[in-house]
């Protein structure tokens, strides 16, 4: 049989001393959660402020204007709106054009419509201006949305980090405190044996356990009690042997009773050391 006992930590029995372990772990998690919440709130306040400033700045950047289509521009000097042409009331309505129109100029009024009077309403770079304007507006909207998304991203990152940190700390805390609670639990098991008068061999701690010095103190204490028991056994055995050799049995009922008691004690002590 191997003389070395190997214990393996398992997640199932990590919480040995719930009161101690949870207290320390919850304190650690609580402090972190408080810090995360308080500073996170501060971060969000500042982020909100910074985002609002940035949004204000974006909104403050002017976009190139687009001339209104319904209003003519000053280009060409014709700012008056075009009005429909009216014929004098005594004039007959114009006849449909015919091949002889050019010869009958005296009877019909000719109207010459030049395209320049229409195109002068819109500036020549209207399309570019409109495109520039709306690109700028879309760009601004995009920037504002991006800024707001950035603010929300900070919030989500904080929330996720806080949650992950709390979970990680809870596990870490329980595992760390287990390294203290483990040796204490082991010593408690030996206490129970010692309380019942059983002085078994004390095995070393697991690798990575804390309270190594404390455990050494316990081992020495155990050795001390075992030493006391051994001294008692030695003394009682020598006395009982001497009493039997001297034939004191039957000399008095008190001696017999006391001797019987000591034999019982000796047997108990020998058994406890076995």
Partner 1 sequence: MPDTRDTNDKDELPSATVVKDGKVPGDVPRTPPPPAKRAYKRRWSNYLLDKKLQLRYVLLVTILSALISGSLGYLVYQQEHRASDDIAASLAEQVKSDPATYGDLQKEAVADMKARDEALVLKMIGTGLGLAVILVLYLVVMTHKVAGPLYKVSNHFDQMAAGKLPKIWGLRKGDMLQDFFASFKEMYDANRARMTDDVAAMEKLVAACKAAGVAKSGDLSEELEALEAHVAARKQALS
Q: Compute the Cα dihedral for 257, 261, 264, 270 and give only its sign.
A: negative
Q: What minimum distance in Å lies between the beta carbon of 197 and partner 1?
A: 7
Contact between 165 and partner 1 (CB under 8 A)? yes
> Quick one: which of 17, 129, 130, 144 contacts partner 1 (CB under 8 A)?
17
User: By C-alpha distance, which of 154, 160, 145 is closest to 47?
Assistant: 154
Q: How far is the CB of 137 from partner 1 (least distance, A)?
A: 19
Choose, by CB under 8 A, the member of 28, 136, 144, 170 that binds partner 1: 28
Q: How many CB atoms lie within 10 A of CB 41?
A: 11
Measured CA to CA, the distance from residue 238 to residue 229 in angstroms comes to 14
Residue among 69 and 239 whose Cβ is closer to partner 1 = 239
Rule CB under 8 A: which of 44-63 touch partner 1?
46-47, 49-50, 53-54, 57, 60
- Least separation in angstroms between residue 128's CB and partner 1 is 24
Task: Determine, following the binding rule CB under 8 A, whether residue 139 of this chain makes contact with partner 1.
Answer: no
Taking CB under 8 A as the rule, does residue 164 contact partner 1?
Answer: no
Which of 127, 159, 255, 267 lies at the binding interface for partner 1 (CB under 8 A)? 255
Q: Which CB sits closer to partner 1, 55 or 75?
A: 55
> Using an 8 Å Cβ cutoff, are 109 and 94 in contact?
yes
169 neighbors 28 (Cβ within 8 angstroms) = yes
* Closest-CA residue to 147 (of 49, 42, 60): 49
Which residues inside 226-245 make contact with partner 1, applying CB under 8 A?
227-228, 231-232, 235-236, 238-239, 242-243, 245
Q: Which is nearer to partner 1, 75 or 240 (CB)?
A: 240
Stretch that binds partner 1, among 82-90, 100-108, 122-130, 258-266 (CB under 8 A): 258-266
DSSP symbols for 171-229? HHHHHHHHHHHHHHHHHHHHHHHHHTT--PPPPPPPTT-S-HHHHHHHHHHHHHHHHHH
């Amino acid at each position: 049989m191997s003389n070395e006992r190997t214990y393996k930590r398992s997640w199932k029995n990590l919480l040995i001393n719930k009161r101690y372990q949870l207290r320390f772990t919850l304190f650690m998690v609580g402090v972190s959660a408080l810090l995360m919440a308080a500073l996170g709130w501060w971060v969000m306040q500042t982020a909100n402020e910074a985002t609002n400033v940035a949004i204000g700045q974006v909104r403050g950047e002017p976009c190139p204007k687009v001339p209104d289509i319904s209003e003519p521009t000053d280009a060409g000097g014709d700012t008056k709106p075009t009005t429909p042409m009216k014929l004098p009331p005594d004039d007959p309505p114009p006849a449909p054009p015919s091949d002889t129109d050019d010869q009958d100029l005296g009877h019909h009024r000719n109207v010459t419509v030049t395209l320049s009077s229409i195109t002068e309403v819109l500036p020549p770079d209207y399309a570019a201006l409109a495109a520039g304007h709306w690109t700028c507006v879309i760009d601004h909207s995009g920037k504002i949305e991006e800024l707001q998304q950035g603010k929300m991203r900070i919030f989500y990152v904080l929330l996720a980090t806080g949650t992950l940190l709390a979970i990680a700390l809870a596990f870490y805390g329980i595992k760390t405190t287990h390294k203290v609670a483990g040796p204490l639990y082991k010593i408690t098991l030996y206490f129970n044996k010692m309380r019942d008068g059983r002085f078994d061999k004390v095995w070393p701690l697991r690798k990575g356990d804390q309270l190594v010095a404390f455990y050494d103190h316990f081992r020495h204490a155990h050795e001390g009690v075992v030493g006391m028991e051994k001294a008692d056994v030695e003394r009682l055995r020598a006395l009982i042997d001497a009493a039997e050799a001297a034939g004191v049995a039957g000399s008095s009922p008190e001696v017999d009773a006391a001797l019987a008691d000591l034999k019982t004690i000796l047997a108990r002590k020998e058994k406890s050391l076995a």
